[in-house]
Structure 1
Amino acid sequence: MTDPNRPNDLLSEARDEIVGMGKQGMAHPSTKPVLTGAAVGAVAATVLPVITWPVGLIAGAGFMLYKRLRP
């Protein structure tokens, strides 16, 4: 599904993955792990006194998306 003329970098892969998750919803294979990572990050951030839950949510989702792209 990658275009041979397009550079193969992390940002373009992440964009393609996010667009795919947006179009396919829960049927996309990356949606459930990324949502789980977001939930774990939000819960972990509530325990930490410095980080708020939105930061933890974004960090958890970003980490799981990265792990899906670069296993």
Structure 2
Amino acid sequence: MDDFNTPKDNGDFLTDARQELAGMLQDGMSHPSTKPVLLWGAAGAAAAIVLPFVTIPLGLAAGAGYKFYKRVRPD
């Protein structure tokens, strides 16, 4: 039986990331990766407010990108 909370590891990062992103776009907020990625993006944006030389969009992208990477490659 498939566990939908853990992404599949096919060995190729780009293929796995593309499949995960397609699932997130297709399922929206019901996809198990969407909420954690958005939460980490918001945390990155909040951290960017207090850090000098880091803009809010950069913090948002860094936080969301980190969590998306950890969802595709958890180890």
TM-score in terms of structure 1 length? 0.85
Structure 1: runs of 5+ lacking an equivalent: 1-6
Who is 2:6 aligned against?
A: none
**Counterpart for residue 69 of structure 2:** 66
| Aligned length in residues | 65
> Which ranges in structure 2 are unaligned for 5 or more consecutive residues?
1-9
Identity of aligned residues (%): 58
Q: Kindly report structure 1 stretches of 4+ aligned residues shifted beyond 6 Å.
A: none
Greater relative contact order, per chain length (Cα 8 Å cut-off, separation 6+): 2
**TM-score normalised over the length of structure 2:** 0.81
Tell me whether 1:42 sits opposite 2:61 in the alignment. no
RMSD of Structure 2 on Structure 1 (CA): 1.1
Partner residue in 2 for 1:56: 59
